[in-house]
Amino acid sequence: MRFIIWDTTLFVLAIMFFMCEILMMKHILSELKKLFKHLAMLATHTVGILKCLLIITHQKDLAKIKSMLQDEHLIYESCNNCINLPTAAKSFSNKICLTTYFLYIMVGTTAHLSALRKLNAAVQENQFGGNVTCYDFLPYLFVIPFDSESTNGCKNALITMDFGLCIFAGYIASHDAMLYSTIICLRTNLDVLSKATRNMRGRIMQKLNLPKDFETTRDDSFPELENELYSELKVCNRNLELLLSACQCIEEVFSYTILAQTITSLLVIASCMFASSLMAYTDPELYSLVEYAIASVFQLLMVCHFGNSIIVAGETCRYSLYETDWHSSSKRFKQGLLIMMYRMERPLYLTIGKFSPLTLQTFVAVMKGSFSYATVFKTVE
């Protein structure tokens, strides 16, 4: 209950920051560069609110997905080549999550540093005051709720901006890190299932203490071996159904935020490229825009990469069924294997708002679209 109250409080503060951003849009319509830049930030804030709502309202669904992916039956007996996969996946997931938080927080940090540098330069040249106000130095505009006519007041406004940006960055990073970790866990379980299925006969022979050179033309002549193989196949089939259900749950929870993120990334990358094209290389604000664009590209790339990894893992799982040593197996074993093969004929993937599969081609298409839109903005300018 305490965490829900805290989440709700931060969410209200984020909404207030979002509304301030909307109110300030009327002050920047005269400058096309600022218009596109702040439209991009407004879109980012909108997606941040959607992701925040998803985290708060889908806690039961997220707990269900976690329970499915950590099911105790997903551990296979005597699968020695499967042991290192979860450990490596966990290490990789931790690195991706830390990188995500770092890049998103750096968006506000670089914006603060660039604005502070411009402000200090203006103060030294006695340009601050009069027609030049604090709003001329804010990288991401909002309604300043206190006096900012002095230098210290303007610096306090920058700190207030950082507070709002950190709230949004935290929620967006939490959502994205949760999505990345969930997909990595699903992909790892699919890889483990593939290895466990491919090495099924060897594991059962090891369990029954049979020699490595043991061969038979019919498993039916060894009832104990046949029963163990069939029991293990049922375990693999049960786990496959569990992972397919988990993939469907991930799809239902994250599909529409992925769609919103894809559209926003298109706008953000195009806007950053357009705005940066109008700046000099010595402009401090250029570096904050570059970092903002890098964070957006990273965000989209990770979503598309992990979405594509689910497709690859599904195909690997399907091929592993064919590579199972089934030639001497019993009739019921072959029938069960055929059922699993038939199910995996349908590709496994996540979608963008249930419209299109989430693949690396999506990333390429968005990047191409961003360059095209940036060119159009430049032409209009």
Alpha carbon separation from 217 to 168, 326, 329, 338, 350 (Å, rounded): 63, 10, 8, 20, 42
Domain total of the chain: 1
In a domain, 206, yes or no: yes
In a domain, 157, yes or no: yes
Render pLDDT for 280-333 as a digit per residue (tens, 0 to 9). 777 777 777 788 888 888 888 888 888 898 888 888 888 888 888 777 778 888
Residue 74 belongs to some domain of the structure: no
Question: Which of the four pLDDT bands, split at 50, 70 and 90, describes residue 23?
Answer: very low
The pLDDT, as a whole number, for residue 35 is: 66
Answer whether residue 4 shows pLDDT above 50.
Answer: no
Report d(CA 243, CA 190) in Å as an integer.
7
Residue 277 domain flag: yes
Any domain includes 341: yes
More confident residue, 220 or 89: 89
73 domain-assigned: no
- For the ranges 59-63, 142-146, 165-169, the lowest mean pLDDT is seen at 142-146
Q: What is the dihedral of CA 241, 247, 182, 45, to 10 degrees?
A: -160
pLDDT number for residue 24? 46
Its domain, for residue 275, covers 2-68+82-380
Q: What percent of the chain has pLDDT over 90?
A: 0
Q: Do the beta carbons of residue 325 and residue 274 sit within 8 Å?
A: no
Q: Which of 34-48, 305-319, 360-374 has the lowest mean pLDDT?
A: 34-48
Contact 232, 263 (CB under 8 A): no
What percent of the chain stands above pLDDT 70?
84
What distance in Å separates the CA atoms of residue 266 and residue 273, rounded to the nearest whole number? 11
Q: Give the pLDDT confidence score for residue 6 in this predicted structure.
A: 44
- Structural domain includes residue 356: yes
Kindly state whether residue 124 falls inside one of the protein's structural domains.
yes
Q: Which of 100-114, 118-132, 143-157, 251-265 has the lowest mean pLDDT?
A: 118-132
pTM of the predicted model, to two decimals? 0.81
